[in-house]
Amino acid sequence: MEPGAGDGAPHYNENNGSRRPGAMSPASATDAAREADRIRPVLKRLWGQKKWDPATVRAALLPLGYEEERTGSNGKSHGGTLTVRAMNSRFSEGREVTPEGALVGLRVHDDACVTAFVQKSNYQVTTNGPYPETGCFEPPFGH
């Protein structure tokens, strides 16, 4: 059995590598924590106002000085560090459902992100290294 292999399934670590964030340097972790502390009160205020659609969340975060991330058709970054998008859809009661709310990803450094969400039930702000295939956002499922 592989070390850290969850339930002991063969190739668990290999098959789930895309779901593990990269490591952050201590300096990057400090910077990411500082940015998380700037974002948290904004999301707390929006949650209290029952405003969690992506457009409203994006508009509330841009005045903090972040620039919206822009990517080309090939997925290559053309600048900016902030991404605010709809929640991940999931299969529920026989159909795809996208819950109300917004996901937030802020690229602080190449090795550091702030990820957050705000939705009807709660909000959360965390820091992490980037994921190999999806940047700041945890992939919804492995492949």
In this prediction the pTM is 0.80
pLDDT at residue 119 in the model? 96
Q: DSSP letter for 2, please.
A: -
pLDDT at residue 45 in the model? 98
Q: What percent of the chain has pLDDT over 90?
A: 60
How much is the mean pLDDT over the chain? Answer: 85
User: What DSSP assignment string belongs to 9-70?
Assistant: -TTHHHHTGGGSPPP--HHHHHHHHHHHHHHHHHHHHHHHTT---HHHHHHHHGGGT--B--
